[in-house]
Structure 1
Amino acid sequence: MGEANYVIGVVISVDGDQTLIGTYDLINDDEIIHNGQILYGPRLGAYVTVRQNDVKLIAKITSEKVIDQQNTIRSNEFDNRYSKNSINRLISVKMLGAIEDNQFIVTSSYAPMVGNEAYITTQVELSAIYATGRNTDSIPIGTALLERSTVLIPINAFFAGHIGIFGNTGSGKSNTLHALYYKLLHSKYREGILKKSRFTVIDFNGEYRSEGIFGFPEDHIERYNVDTRSQKGMAKKVKVSEDYIINPDVLIMLFEAKPGVQAPFIRRSLNVFEEVKKPEPFMKLCMGLLQKIILTGNATNDDALGDWVEVTEDYCGPDCLSQLRELRHHANGNATIQDSSGSSIWLNSQDQTIDDKGKKLLGWEGISSAIQNTYKDLNILNKLHMFFRYQRVYSTAWNGTDPQYLGPMFSRIKTRLESLNKVVDIVPAAQMGNAYQSRKSLTIYSFVHANQEIKRILPMLIANMIYDEQKKEQSDTGSITRTSHLIIDEAHNILSDIQRDDGDNWQNHRLDSFEEIIKEGRKFGFYLTIASQRPADISSTILSQIHNYIIHRLVNDRDLRSLENTMPTLDHSSLMTIPSLGKGQAVLTGTAFPVPRFTQVDRIIKVAPTSDDAELTRLWESHENEAKPDSEASTIMVSGSDGANPVQDASDTRFQESKQNDEWV
């Protein structure tokens, strides 16, 4: 069957990329049957074809109007304007590209000319426009709103890049995120995906808890419930390499260290901490500090010795310090301690050391052993906390730092290290082994029960770790043999570039980390998928590096402007349609799509994220049923739909063979 060319009019004006077509007839049918084919009427958002010799120029309708050709004079007695056969329809279109050799290309090599005829775009031409390429492997994601055909996503062009999914609450973005990977997992490449790729989900709202989520077998899923509220902490802690947490930038963020005094204190202290990780060097550092405080006498501030004793008591108990309490400082700065006979022994000496007799009277050996043994049994975070407390004594003892500048930060250090201890297990880098190989196909980190500090710091650490794992995997092989996919739902929680009261260092380092990932990750086989209801809050650098977008309903002007500035593939008329999209409807645009596609995304029935709206009437009616006797309650019917829709099968034959009878709507 040949092409059905239904001519509708002629080009009457060309102004830049805007072309005006005058129609021969007033056509207002949604669908037209012509030569045995169904054509879609020339309405807003539809396509028209402009014939120019052997080239077919494809345009999209952006606006339309009518003009009265026969009646231009208004009369109260006889007004014949806009009557039958007196009006012409004018259609404004924007040129998108051309079809050559049955392939659609986005090009500016051709332009319409006045007098070129325009006709309704045929099914063959639509297939060329939407084609993902000859023999391209694809998955179906939904149904086109305009043409009612199956919308296909090319696997390579779409998933081998960064993906952005945006939409207001309730617009369907969580379902879309789930449907994308569910259908990918049920393609014919399922076994290869499970062996060669790793997927990591950062879930801030606990939506991805269902068994078999994203279509992964349950034995291929590892889950972490990051819980800082429970007193006992989580049963399974997140393993974090020591290199990522014992980092000045990370700790400055975590402790919200201010740039004047607190941040430099962290940096100076960590330089020393690298040398005293083992118990014996740490003990010598602490005892050296005690000796210096004793021998410099009144050169220290009045609280120096008391501060040192307080830290040691907190960790080692008071017993080992009983003899130290007999120490006396005199006005001249010298220190004495009484021996067994009651005589005062001077501890100050010419070489600024305490001799063996003085150390014995002070109980030096017992204190040293207590500190060393206590420190040896602590995990790395508690070691760090103990070390910081002694460093605080050192920094303030000789008035180098005013204690009041460090006090507020140390309150934060205590609470935040306690939170970290509940959820992470710090492992030396040498013990991490091949982390990529040891991870399961899908790892889900749920932060619904985590406090704000952990929500800010831990996702960044996880992202950096798996990014470095992927880089190492790629560098070891010299080519991309495995891939990593990081999926962040509600991404504005950690990718926002709006300054809040959480410190400049946190803001800068967090964004620097993710901006490096999104700029450089693709070359290493590391791909980022982000979903958010507030794209305007996300760093513009990150937004601009996304390759493909799925945009659900957005009504906020800031959100729409941010997308318009970062999505060159979305024309203005399509952008203006976004606020009127219904639930589950979205526009697909980006490098994988020659033109934007408005789509009703399929809803997965078999398994889904827990993000559905509450059905209040059913909830309340079920309460009424509970209050009634069984015989009466059984007669009550709940009205309304149960939410299930007919099952839609994909029309793509390449996908049919691998669908495996999975259910989606």
Structure 2
Amino acid sequence: MNDALTIGRVIGVHGFRVKVELEPDIKSPSRVGFEGVQTAVAINAYLTFDIGAGELAIGVVTDLEARESFDPTSDDELTLELVKPRRTASVQLLGTVKPKRDRSYGFDPGITVLPSLETPARTASRDVMQAAFSEAPKRNAPGDAGGRDDYDIGLNLGIPTANTDKPLLASFNDLFSRPMAIVGNTGSGKSFTVARLLQSAVQETKETRRPRFFVLDINGEYGRAFGVSCEMKEPNKIYLNGKEFSVPVWLMNAREVCDWLSAAGQTQEPVLKAFWSVAKGGDALQALPSYLHEAISRIEKIQSVLRDSQRTKDIRALWSGVIEFIGGMKFDTGQLNTKISSLGAGEWDKVERGQKELFDLCEALKNQIAPQLKERKSQAQDSADKPKYFPIATVRSQNGLLESVKGDDDEFRLKQHISTLQLRLNNRIADRRWGAFLNYDDAGIEIRSISDIAERMGIGQESASEVNVIDCSMLGHEVLPYVCGIIGRILLELREHVPAEDRFKDPWVLVLEEAHNYIRPRRQDEDPGTEISREAYERIAKEGRKFGLSMIVASQRPSEISPTIISQCANIIMHRLQNHEDIEHFRRIVPSQSRRLLDQITVLASGESIVFGSAFHVPTRVRIHLPDKGKEPWSQTAAPYDSWNKDAGFNLGKALENWGVKPVEQEAAELTEEESVEEPDTGSDDDYPF
């Protein structure tokens, strides 16, 4: 054997997998050399191979095997019994370690030269491990970086299980500039990892205090981790950093409000979009492009009547509808109006003789309307999509939608359709579950502009909370996707509207806790809110990087998250997973050199994870550091034995109080009090003469 660190030799090279035959005297998984005791022959141990010019290929041990027999051919009749077991290790190559001028090593994820047969396999030295783990990749150099390298640092995530004396450092820039997934079964340490990441990021950037993270806290567990207290939460309310908040209904764009009210596409959507545009301050004529569309439709019906030589009164009725729809707009209708007005009942000869002229005049009017229809439709959509305030009384008006229907020759029928839409709107307003959309005018909240929302979140301020905890734990299941989707879309659109040169300044990260609740894969029977939320975050996953907006997706069920979002995650932290579908889902998308590590995913201890991605030099199994003491999320696992042997029981009264439900005895007492109305005094029997 060459030295204490050499453990074997290469006997097979298969792509980027190497098979090593171990030396006969290797009896222990550890080796002792000048650098002390090092793990050598064990799963997750790291080996190096000399490939020339001072460069080393580095790989991780994924399989160990001892065989007492050998089949030299495929013929089952010929088998050799070995005197000693043949022990081999399978190694997945990860990259190349190259010497630098200061005699240290630098890591390169590329491999241009593979080890050859008989190349010695050696335990990775401390210098090599330092290059692979304790020197994080440098990512996203700004244009003015020049020769400096202080634009990125290594964020200490934890300790690799096979290298307990070196921390695992990840690129700070890469972790928070592109989408990242943190997955794992309940109790595997997922919430602690999220909290630790955010706490570490805040500690490393102490010089400035501006919003960096927006946490969609679905279970109300992150308040303690970031110093947010909320003494009592009420049902159907949303809280921002412990204070009641609102996602005003006027933040909805035209598509969202149509989905929210399940508006029918042909009859209700145009009127609802028109109403939404007018409510946000749009011009009434610009806000009703559907009227121009209907005007063109009636002109085309006139042309159809002319072709069929039907009754002239049909032409006059249709023309009356056209005038109603384009009234007040500057269109040249004089000649056509005169021509139609001159038609008399039963005068078919006049229609036939003037048919070509009438037809051409109708075509000319259509050509006048069409360009304005396109322009007004764009203006109406723009007005309806803007996040502009209107009083809550606007949507509570009983006539708001009905007033949007006017001038239709079948107005009664159309109003019947709109009345069902009005009923749904009234039901939404009366439904307490949607209170977080409708409370923006309430005392103490008063959110009356997009600037008010930005101010509550600290956006644009020089001294604000670095982490915004948006507590959605009291929202109903149907309400949650709308809230999450609208918040994500608004943050993206805010960044889209800053000048191009400022898009990358002061970037933000959205943390999607329990993301499987609102960004599920597309299904035919999905709720409209889920579709809105998924599409918002798919767009952030694909385009957010260009605008300085990234996200961390945390979930127990990665297979129930949109594959578009998961596929865009540049870095993945995987805690223990047991479900076969979840594991196979990742096996299909992770890099080939990381797939063998997934075999260990079912046996990870709580707090352990497998990490891979562009923020790390090599994929590895690591124990993540715990959050700051006393600032852990409210996500601990119960201890039944200890708890059941104590006197304290379940606090039913507090649960009902927070839920907004009164105990049965209290409700019965109040009901009795309401029913006990004092009888009026009618006098005594002595007052009557008989």
Task: Provide the residue aligned with 1:183 in structure 2.
Answer: 200
* Mapping of residues 367-386 of structure 1, within 5 Å: 379=392, 382-383=395-396, 386=399
Task: Provide the residue aligned with 1:96 in structure 2.
Answer: 94
Residue pair 2:484, 2:533 contacting (<8 A) in 1 also:
no
Structure 1's 92 and 275: CA in aligned 2 closer, same or farther, altered over 3 A?
A: closer
Mean Cα deviation higher: 392-401 or 162-171: 392-401
Mean Cα deviation higher: 6-15 or 377-386: 377-386
Q: What is the deviation of 1:249?
A: 0.9
Task: Provide the residue aligned with 1:454 in structure 2.
Answer: 479
- Give CA-to-partner distance per residue, 1:93-134, whole Å, 9 cap, x none: 222222111222122311121122212222222222222158
2: CA distance, partners of 1:238 / 1:27: 66
Residue pair 1:224, 1:238 contacting (<8 A) in 2 also:
no
Read off the aligned partner of 1:448 and give its amino acid letter: S
2: CA distance, partners of 1:393 / 1:479: 44
Alignment of 1:57 onto 2:57: yes
Alignment of 1:228 onto 2:253: no
Q: Secondary structure at the residue paired with 2:645?
A: helix
Task: Provide the residue aligned with 1:443 in structure 2.
Answer: 468
Alignment of 1:253 onto 2:259: yes
Q: What is the deviation of 1:619?
A: 2.0
Q: TM-score, normalised by structure 2?
A: 0.65
2: CA distance, partners of 1:157 / 1:377: 41
* Mapping of residues 641-660 of structure 1, within 5 Å: none
* Mapping of residues 261-410 of structure 1, within 5 Å: 262-267=268-273, 269-270=275-276, 273=279, 379=392, 382-383=395-396, 386-388=399-401, 397-400=411-414, 403=417, 406=421, 409-410=424-425
- Give CA-to-partner distance per residue, 1:417-447, whole Å, 9 cap, x none: 8534555456345776877225643322111
Q: Secondary structure at the residue paired with 2:44?
A: coil
User: 419, 434, 459: which one pairs with 2:435?
Assistant: 419
- Give CA-to-partner distance per residue, 1:438-488, whole Å, 9 cap, x none: 56433221111111232111122222222233334454x636331222112
Read off the aligned partner of 2:481 and give its amino acid letter: R
Task: Provide the residue aligned with 1:619 in structure 2.
Answer: 643
Structure 1's 58 and 416: CA in aligned 2 closer, same or farther, altered over 3 A?
A: same
2: CA distance, partners of 1:377 / 1:563: 46
Read off the aligned partner of 1:388 and give its amino acid letter: L
User: 91, 94, 114: which one pairs with 1:111?
Assistant: 114
Q: What is the deviation of 1:609?
A: 0.7
How many corresponding residue pairs?
Answer: 505
Mean Cα deviation higher: 481-490 or 50-59: 50-59
Q: TM-score, normalised by structure 1?
A: 0.67
2: CA distance, partners of 1:22 / 1:495: 48
1: CA distance, partners of 2:398 / 2:478: 17
Residue pair 2:485, 2:533 contacting (<8 A) in 1 also:
yes
- Give CA-to-partner distance per residue, 1:25-69, whole Å, 9 cap, x none: 253423221234222122222222122333311122222222336
Q: Secondary structure at the residue paired with 1:153?
A: strand
Residue pair 2:93, 2:593 contacting (<8 A) in 1 also:
no
- Give CA-to-partner distance per residue, 1:505-526, whole Å, 9 cap, x none: 5454433321221222222222
2: CA distance, partners of 1:70 / 1:377: 81
* Mapping of residues 526-541 of structure 1, within 5 Å: 526-541=549-564
1: CA distance, partners of 2:577 / 2:454: 45
Residue pair 2:9, 2:21 contacting (<8 A) in 1 also:
yes
Q: Secondary structure at the residue paired with 2:212?
A: strand
Task: Provide the residue aligned with 1:205 in structure 2.
Answer: 219
1: CA distance, partners of 2:401 / 2:597: 56
Read off the aligned partner of 1:598 and give its amino acid letter: R
- Give CA-to-partner distance per residue, 1:384-434, whole Å, 9 cap, x none: 665135558998852247649758745654445853455545634577687
Q: What is the deviation of 1:593?
A: 0.5
Q: Secondary structure at the residue paired with 2:473?
A: strand
Q: Secondary structure at the residue paired with 2:518?
A: helix
2: CA distance, partners of 1:226 / 1:470: 32
Task: Provide the residue aligned with 2:493 in structure 1.
Answer: 468
User: 470, 493, 509: which one pairs with 1:485?
Assistant: 509
Structure 1's 271 and 473: CA in aligned 2 closer, same or farther, altered over 3 A?
A: closer
Residue pair 1:570, 1:589 contacting (<8 A) in 2 also:
no
User: 139, 142, 151: which one pairs with 2:155?
Assistant: 139
Task: Provide the residue aligned with 1:645 in structure 2.
Answer: none
* Structure 1 gap segments, 5+ residues each: 73-79, 283-375, 627-665
User: 74, 82, 86: which one pairs with 2:84?
Assistant: 86
Q: What is the deviation of 1:585?
A: 0.6
Read off the aligned partner of 2:16 and give its amino acid letter: D
1: CA distance, partners of 2:57 / 2:607: 32
Q: What is the deviation of 1:624?
A: 7.4
Q: Secondary structure at the residue paired with 1:52?
A: strand
Task: Provide the residue aligned with 2:12 in structure 1.
Answer: 13
Residue pair 1:224, 1:237 contacting (<8 A) in 2 also:
no
Structure 1's 391 and 105: CA in aligned 2 closer, same or farther, altered over 3 A?
A: same
Read off the aligned partner of 2:46 and give its amino acid letter: Y
1: CA distance, partners of 2:184 / 2:163: 23
Residue pair 2:247, 2:483 contacting (<8 A) in 1 also:
no
Alignment of 1:66 onto 2:66: yes
Q: What is the deviation of 1:587?
A: 1.1
Q: What is the deviation of 1:531?
A: 0.7
Q: What is the deviation of 1:573?
A: 0.9
State, as a whole percentage, how many aligned pairs show the same letter: 20
2: CA distance, partners of 1:511 / 1:574: 30
Structure 1's 455 and 225: CA in aligned 2 closer, same or farther, altered over 3 A?
A: farther
1: CA distance, partners of 2:406 / 2:185: 51
Q: What is the deviation of 1:226?
A: 7.7
Q: Secondary structure at the residue paired with 2:642?
A: helix
Structure 1's 578 and 237: CA in aligned 2 closer, same or farther, altered over 3 A?
A: same
Structure 1's 569 and 428: CA in aligned 2 closer, same or farther, altered over 3 A?
A: farther
Residue pair 1:255, 1:416 contacting (<8 A) in 2 also:
no
Task: Provide the residue aligned with 2:310 in structure 1.
Answer: none
2: CA distance, partners of 1:436 / 1:384: 33
Residue pair 1:20, 1:91 contacting (<8 A) in 2 also:
yes
Task: Provide the residue aligned with 1:165 in structure 2.
Answer: 182
Structure 1's 250 and 398: CA in aligned 2 closer, same or farther, altered over 3 A?
A: same
Read off the aligned partner of 1:57 and give its amino acid letter: A
Read off the aligned partner of 2:162 and give its amino acid letter: L
Alignment of 1:606 onto 2:619: no
Residue pair 2:35, 2:126 contacting (<8 A) in 1 also:
no
2: CA distance, partners of 1:267 / 1:257: 10
2: CA distance, partners of 1:263 / 1:506: 17
Structure 1's 394 and 420: CA in aligned 2 closer, same or farther, altered over 3 A?
A: farther
The alignment yields a C-alpha RMSD, in angstroms, of 3.9
* Mapping of residues 539-558 of structure 1, within 5 Å: 539-558=562-581
1: CA distance, partners of 2:494 / 2:421: 36
Q: Secondary structure at the residue paired with 2:611?
A: strand
Q: Secondary structure at the residue paired with 2:637?
A: coil
Q: What is the deviation of 1:18?
A: 2.6
Read off the aligned partner of 1:208 and give its amino acid letter: Y
Residue pair 2:216, 2:511 contacting (<8 A) in 1 also:
yes
